[in-house]
């Protein structure tokens, strides 16, 4: 293109110096025009692009129509966790249970009606916590920018903020998820059970596109929170489990003497996001069978060993896997809506 333009100019002018003067002038014009194009492209990339991710979500999705969205959510989360630090775990688990069933569309927040029993009433979800934090953020956002910020995005941001609040990694997430219009109890059958072994876990996470390594990283969310006795009592039979430390078995039995709903911290620091969970697995002190089983498979065991030694590596892999989880089957455009009340379809 440039070559053709130059040849054309050489042909038109007979006197070389006029030709050179025009040539230089036009060259300068072309260069400056190209620089402007390049600068414009860079501008687009820096301000919005780089931030665009698959599915049409973007890091600055609310920059124009609800610029304080991130701030409002963080504020609600911080306020709630200051009053009750145990809720960090609830928010992280809520995001997982949302994304694994019908995608990250906040279907987990919908209340049952007389015609429909929703996901949240499934036995797998009865111990989910933190719904009020989402309601609080949503209420404020509806005042500031009505009908703009989806409940699915609030759940994703709240989980991210809870992880940071508890001492975990800080990371940015793409936004722009729409809320789903259905929530059915029977779909929760697809959630992994605490009785699953490593192969079951690799398979079920694989169905959602995760590698075994990502599954082990995500399981590290069990650095936060508790399990109720009903989730692990099947491990406490009279025959001693060679994969469980005998002293730790006594701790679990003692917890269960308090009944099915008695709570056992999933690691020694239930409100702090760290790699102590993996070190507990190495000491045969994982609470759930589905945690301890990660040591019985060669692939998952080597990942556990790595994370137990290197917390920074765990944080890095965990944040990447969380961003990936937050993109599962995301609904866009008319496939979803922005619910006005997170508990009800519009
Ligand atoms: C690997 C498969 C998984 C299984 C089988 C599993 C199962 C469970 C079970 C049975 C509980 C205890 C529930 C109770 O007794 O009330 C629990 C708690 C929890 N799970 Fe998982 N989970 C898995 C993966 C995940 C993932 C991927 C996350 C998040 C990214 C997560 C986050 C949590 C948190 C934070 C808690 C504590 C909740 C609280 O204290 O309220 N889990 N999980």
Residue 237 pLDDT: 82
| 231 neighbors 264 (Cβ within 8 angstroms) | no
Which ligand 1 atom is the nearest neighbour of the CA of 193? Answer: 5
- Residue ID of nearest Cα to ligand 1 atom 11: 227
28 and 106 belong to one structural domain: no
Cα 75 → chain centroid: 19
Q: Which domain holds residue 39?
A: 2-49
121 and 179 belong to one structural domain: yes
Say how many Å lie between the CA of residue 252 and the centre of ligand 1.
Answer: 17
Say how many Å lie between the CA of residue 109 and the centre of ligand 1.
Answer: 17
Domain assignment present for residue 232? The answer is yes
Distance, CA of 217 to CA of 334 (rounded, Å): 33
Cα 66 → chain centroid: 21
Q: List average pLDDT for each run of 10 residues in the chain, which is 346 residues long.
A: 36 41 54 52 44 74 97 98 98 98 98 98 98 98 98 98 98 98 97 98 98 98 98 87 93 97 98 98 98 97 98 98 98 94 98
Domain assignment present for residue 62? The answer is no
Residue 14 pLDDT: 38
32 and 111 belong to one structural domain: no
Q: Nearest 10 degrees: CA dihedral of 225, 228, 229, 233?
A: -80
Query: Measured on CA atoms in the order 277, 283, 289, 290, is the torsion positive or negative?
Result: positive
Backbone φ, ψ for residue 102 (5° rounding): 60, 20
Say how many Å lie between the CA of residue 222 and the centre of ligand 1.
Answer: 6
* C-alpha separations of 222 from 18, 197, 276, 315, 323 in Å: 77, 16, 10, 13, 17
Say how many Å lie between the CA of residue 130 and the centre of ligand 1.
Answer: 14
The binding-site residues of ligand 1, defined as CB within 6 angstroms of any ligand atom, are 89-90, 92-93, 96, 127, 129, 192-194, 196, 201, 218-219, 221-222, 224-228, 231, 288, 290
Say how many Å lie between the CA of residue 93 and the centre of ligand 1.
Answer: 6
130 is in an annotated binding site: no
121 is in an annotated binding site: no
Give this prediction's pTM: 0.87
Domain assignment present for residue 87? The answer is yes
Which ligand 1 atom is the nearest neighbour of the CA of 90? Answer: 41
Mutating to test ligand 1, I would choose from 85, 89, 93 the residue with most ligand atoms within 8 A of its C-beta, which is: 93
260 is in an annotated binding site: no
Residue 240 pLDDT: 76
183 and 271 belong to one structural domain: no
Domain assignment present for residue 63? The answer is no
172 is in an annotated binding site: no
119 and 96 belong to one structural domain: yes
Which ligand 1 atom is the nearest neighbour of the CA of 325? Answer: 30
Domain assignment present for residue 59? The answer is no
Residues present in the chain in total: 346
Residue 33 pLDDT: 57
- Residue ID of nearest Cα to ligand 1 atom 6: 194
Residue 34 pLDDT: 60
* C-alpha separations of 71 from 75, 77, 104, 158, 219 in Å: 6, 10, 21, 11, 28
306 and 216 belong to one structural domain: yes
Say how many Å lie between the CA of residue 301 and the centre of ligand 1.
Answer: 19
179 is in an annotated binding site: no
Catalytic residues: 97
Half-sphere exposure of 31 (CA within 13 A, CB side): 6
Q: For the chain, what is the domain count?
A: 3
- In sequence order, what are the residues at sequence separation of 6 or more whose Cβ sits closer than 8 angstroms to the Cβ of residue 72? 137, 140, 141, 144
Q: What angle do CA 11, 16, 17 make, to 5 degrees?
A: 130
- Residue ID of nearest Cα to ligand 1 atom 25: 219
CATH number of the structural domain spanning residue 218 = 1.10.420.10
271 and 214 belong to one structural domain: yes
Distance, CA of 344 to CA of 341 (rounded, Å): 6
- Residue ID of nearest Cα to ligand 1 atom 39: 225
- Residue ID of nearest Cα to ligand 1 atom 20: 93
Residue 286 pLDDT: 98
Three-state SS at 102: coil
Domain assignment present for residue 150? The answer is yes
């Amino acid at each position: 293109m440039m070559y053709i333009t130059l040849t054309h100019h050489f042909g038109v002018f007979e006197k070389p110096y006029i030709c050179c003067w025009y040539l230089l002038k036009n060259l300068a014009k072309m260069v400056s025009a190209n620089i402007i194009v390049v600068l414009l492209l860079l501008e687009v990339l820096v301000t919005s692009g780089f931030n665009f991710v698959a599915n049409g979500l973007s890091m600055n999705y609310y920059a124009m129509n609800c610029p304080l969205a991130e701030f409002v959510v963080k504020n609600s989360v911080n306020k709630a966790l200051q009053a009750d630090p145990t809720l960090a775990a609830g928010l992280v688990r809520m995001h997982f249970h949302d994304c694994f069933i019908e995608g990250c569309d906040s279907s987990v927040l919908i209340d049952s009606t007389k015609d429909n029993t929703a996901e949240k009433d499934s036995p797998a979800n009865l111990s989910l916590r933190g719904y009020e934090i989402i309601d609080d953020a949503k209420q404020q956002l509806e005042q500031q920018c009505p009908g703009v910020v989806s409940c699915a995005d609030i759940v994703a941001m709240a989980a991210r903020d809870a992880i940071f609040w508890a001492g975990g990694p800080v990371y940015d997430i793409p936004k722009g998820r729409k809320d789903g219009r259905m929530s059915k109890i029977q779909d929760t059958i697809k959630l992994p059970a605490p009785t699953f072994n490593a192969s079951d876990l690799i398979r079920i996470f694989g169905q959602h596109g995760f590698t075994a390594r990502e599954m082990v990283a995500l399981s590290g969310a069990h650095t936060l929170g508790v399990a109720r006795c009903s989730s692990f009592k099947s491990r406490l039979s009279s025959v001693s489990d060679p994969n469980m430390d005998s002293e730790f078995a006594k701790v679990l039995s003692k917890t269960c003497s308090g009944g099915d709903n008695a709570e056992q911290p999933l690691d020694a620091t239930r409100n702090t996001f760290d790699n102590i969970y993996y070190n507990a697995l190495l000491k045969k002190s994982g609470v759930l069978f589905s945690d301890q089983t990660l040591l019985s498979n060669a692939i998952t065991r080597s990942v556990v060993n790595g994370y137990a030694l290197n917390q920074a590596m765990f944080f890095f892999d965990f944040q990447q896997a969380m961003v990936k989880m937050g993109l599962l089957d995301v609904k866009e455009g008319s496939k979803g809506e922005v619910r006005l009340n997170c508990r009800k379809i519009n």
